[in-house]
Structure 1
């Protein structure tokens, strides 16, 4: 069962990121190995709904979270819908599968006083590495950019005169983000340092100490290291800064539709999860301030 054409479609037509493509390849590889070894299936039309259900049960029995199993099933559904469009399948074996239920998890965010502590730290003052590291954190906090968007940001995407930048997000969709004055000043300082670090221009905004473009793990490790200095939370990732950006906007009066546009969500339901954090904050304020609470 060859999935190479499907992965090529995701890469070239749907414009999925290399990280997402790798995750799809791994999930599909696990399912296809199961079909081949347990059920001796060698072609997609022979896959049944029963096989998909049994595979899900096996995955859950390994201790997989419901969210992980739902993601794996979503990958299968995307594959089988593609095969039906290509005329290689008459029926989708995942169509009747019911997704396992999951509890709603509130997004983890960093309080503003802890963000101030990080950004004002002496550890992020000095030469090029410190200026860059601080700017990565500040940009994620002030724009809500995803890790892949920070990695892919290019100098040409920035309009200092218009105080904005163009972000290319999921599905190659672009959105315009305003830039705060503090962020602009730090970006200009960084660019002066960058000129001295780079030997061969490639256009990417964020670079390593050796002048090469940064990569996913570089950004991830940087954020985890810096957040670890102010929080004991197990959730310390670039996405936490994206959650922090959205939560701070909502807590300070921004409308949910504006936040959706800034985050680049295509569906408002993906943004509404932040209203739960805002409501939790209101409950704390009420309990602390109301005499009858």
Structure 2
């Protein structure tokens, strides 16, 4: 049943491989727990009591509440699928309640720190330096996800319109404007790239040092290396630059719906988390400047 469900997520729901792997790991963990209780039990035979006992065991093992909530969401989705396919008569996961968790604000890099990184750091003008600079500029200038960045092709970029087309979650396309600085870097970078590796690269924009398509860990290491020089933030990842993009836009008065569309969020609720950072900044200014504060 688990494999059938995972195929459903891949082919019908169009979930990413990373997301499907998370669902798979959660369900296999649940299956392992159930097997210890009774080797003859199947996942489709479980009731609410058994599912709840697994969740309780996770809490007792001090698993992070957010991780527990993800596993609860996995169970609810899995049994909803089984119920919709009439494989089970009753959904045993409907009564599972998520744990209460604090909602931390997204970490982001300060404006002056980003200015230092992009305007004052001396990137070497060869392929390697230009590629690293382009990776940072694209993350901060467009707010795209890591998976979206590594799949950018030459054809997805319109230098004439100064836009890039990316394929987001659930295969949803969106078009994002590019700054003049990014367009300029792309032009120079492509010339250097073609000079070094030739023009036959399966239409992939960003390449590794060996001329292959970039992979997530390589991009993550690149971002972390440069952020370590300019910020003391505990998180130094591509997603931090996505948070930084959204926060800085809202700080400058950008429309929330516009930021939602740029980020590729399916709902406004996912974007509203960035308004908290802007509100904290406003409160700080108020406390410092208002005579009655």
Is residue 246 from structure 1 mapped to residue 250 from structure 2 by the alignment? Answer: no
Count of residue pairs the alignment pairs up: 292
Q: Is the 8 A contact 1:142 1:245 kept in 2?
A: yes
Is residue 212 from structure 1 mapped to residue 212 from structure 2 by the alignment? Answer: yes
Report the CA distance between 1:197 and its aligned residue. 3.3
Superposed CA offset, 1:197-249 (max 9, x none): 33542111111011111111111111112111112222111111110000011
Q: Is the 8 A contact 1:157 1:166 kept in 2?
A: yes
Report the CA distance between 1:25 and its aligned residue. 1.5
Change (3 A) 1:123 1:71: farther
Match of residue 20 from structure 2: 21
Q: Is the 8 A contact 1:164 1:177 kept in 2?
A: yes
Is residue 172 from structure 1 mapped to residue 171 from structure 2 by the alignment? Answer: yes
Superposed CA offset, 1:45-79 (max 9, x none): 31111111111121122222211111111112221
Q: Is the 8 A contact 2:145 2:239 kept in 1?
A: yes
Distance 2:36 2:240 in 1: 40
3-state SS in 2 of match to 1:120: helix
In structure 1, list runs of 5 or more residues that go unmatched.
none
Q: Which moved more, 1:94-103 or 1:197-206?
A: 197-206
Match of residue 183 from structure 2: 184
Match of residue 227 from structure 2: 227
Report the CA distance between 1:39 and its aligned residue. 3.6
Q: Is the 8 A contact 2:59 2:68 kept in 1?
A: yes
Distance 2:159 2:41 in 1: 56
Q: Is the 8 A contact 1:197 1:209 kept in 2?
A: no
Q: Is the 8 A contact 1:138 1:183 kept in 2?
A: yes
Match of residue 163 from structure 1: 162
Superposed CA offset, 1:123-161 (max 9, x none): 522321111111101100010000110111111111111
Distance 2:134 2:195 in 1: 17
Distance 1:286 1:97 in 2: 43
Match of residue 55 from structure 2: 56
- Once the two structures are superposed, the pairs formed by residues 20-169 of structure 1 within 5 Å of their partners are 20-169=19-168
Superposed CA offset, 1:167-222 (max 9, x none): 11000011111111111111111111121233542111111011111111111111
Change (3 A) 1:284 1:4: same
Distance 1:122 1:251 in 2: 24
Q: TM-score, normalised by structure 2?
A: 0.95
3-state SS in 2 of match to 1:175: strand
Match of residue 288 from structure 1: 288
Match of residue 279 from structure 1: 279
Change (3 A) 1:41 1:133: farther
Distance 2:40 2:277 in 1: 46
Distance 2:265 2:240 in 1: 16
Distance 1:179 1:121 in 2: 21
Q: Which moved more, 1:249-258 or 1:23-32?
A: 23-32
Q: TM-score, normalised by structure 1?
A: 0.95
Report the CA distance between 1:42 and its aligned residue. 3.2
Distance 1:77 1:197 in 2: 51
Q: Is the 8 A contact 1:147 1:238 kept in 2?
A: yes
Q: Which moved more, 1:198-207 or 1:98-107?
A: 198-207
The alignment's C-alpha RMSD in Å is: 1.5
